[in-house]
Amino acid sequence: MLRRLLFAAVLVLAAGAAEAQNAAGAWPDRPIRLLVPFAPGGVTDTIGRMSADWLSRRLGQPVAVENRTGAAGAIAAEAVARARPDGYTLLTASASQMVMLPALTALSFDPAADLTGVSIVASNPMVLGVAARTGAATLSDFVALARREAGRLDFSSAGQGSSNHLAMELLLHRAGIRLQHVTYRGGAPAMQALLTGEVAAYFGNPIDLLPHMQNPAIRVLGVASARRLDAMPDVPTVMEAGFPDFVAENWNGIAAPAGTPAGITARIAQELALACQEAAFRQRLLGLGTTPLCSTPAAFQAAMRRDAPIWREAVRASGARQE
């Protein structure tokens, strides 16, 4: 009896593997859509377009980029989650949609269950900048100043529940300090507020801070990643600055509807892995201040499991909700 059951299990696994291989073998035979949840020009859009261009050349079929904005990325993510799982509708996914948004609001779909991660193309750790007027030369200096000022310092963000808002709230929670939150309509004006000294701090994307590294009006104090950024080798990690296990990263990559054949998702991940080995593609990612990864589907799922509790902690600390 046991032998018959084992034999049956082997047949099922073999059939599943053959089905995935056959699906991948016939795929793609027509154009592919890649939905981007944000407007053109940002990091997510840029990485999506880079990935689409690479996949078009490697797969021999057009990969058409469609910017479908709204609801903090939920509209595009849900459209892909509801699409046929045949490899012809993909999402430029980021931690914002996959793990932050479910912590912020009730969704009509579950990114963890209704989408499958294919490849994280690059990670985008948050970077803390402070106004030079604060006099803080290190993160320890800034934390000590915030304690002395007792809630009188402020910080900018791109809006309630944005990644830079939540990253700062996570740091404040871990450090046991308070700052006043000032919202702006996007990362550019939030960064400008730091440059002009309107606010004391801003936890932005690397690309926000990179062009201003030599600007005497600001000081860059920490990178919220496990290791230093290649683009900012002299800036310590927040962990080095005294906050163990502090990671606040937004990553960008490709996701597909749940149920997409494993052969197809593996093929996409394999092609993107080659992209990160090409010098020009890799250099463009580094120029965005991101860390090239081009991960496997398993690594994508592991990142979601790792980051979800981090961002839930940040949301609880901030009290932020999106309706």
Question: What confidence score (pLDDT) does residue 323 get?
Answer: 56
Question: What is 132-223's CATH superfamily?
Answer: Periplasmic binding protein-like II (3.40.190.10)
Q: Rounded to two decimals, what is the model's pTM?
A: 0.86
Those residues of the chain that have pLDDT short of 50 are 1-18, 20-21, 23
What is the side-by-side strand order in the sheet with 218-223? 180-183, 154-157, 201-204, 127-131, 218-223
Q: What is the mean pLDDT of the chain?
A: 91
Q: Cα separation of 252 and 265, whole Å?
A: 16
CATH 3.40.50.2300 correct for 30-124+249-318: no
- DSSP class of residue 99 equals I
Exposed, middle or buried by CB within 10 Å (0-12, 13-18, 19+), for 242? middle
Q: Collapse the DSSP code of 126 into the 3-class scheme (helix H, G, I; strand E, B; otherwise coil) and give the result.
A: coil
**Amino acid identity for residue 173 in this structure:** H
pLDDT tens for 184-200 read 988 899 999 999 999 99
Residue 316 Rama label (left phi>0; alpha psi -120 to 50; beta): alpha
Task: Give pLDDT, residue 320.
Answer: 80
**How much is the pLDDT for 151?**
86
pLDDT for res 16:
43
CATH 3.40.190.150 domain span(s) along the chain:
30-124+249-318
Residues of the chain within CATH 3.40.190.10 domain(s) are: 132-223
The candidate with the shortest Cα–Cα distance to 28, out of 6, 4, 46, 52, is: 52
For 211-231, write each residue's pLDDT tens digit.
999 999 999 999 999 999 999
Q: What are the pLDDT digits (tens) for 10-26?
A: 343 344 444 544 545 68
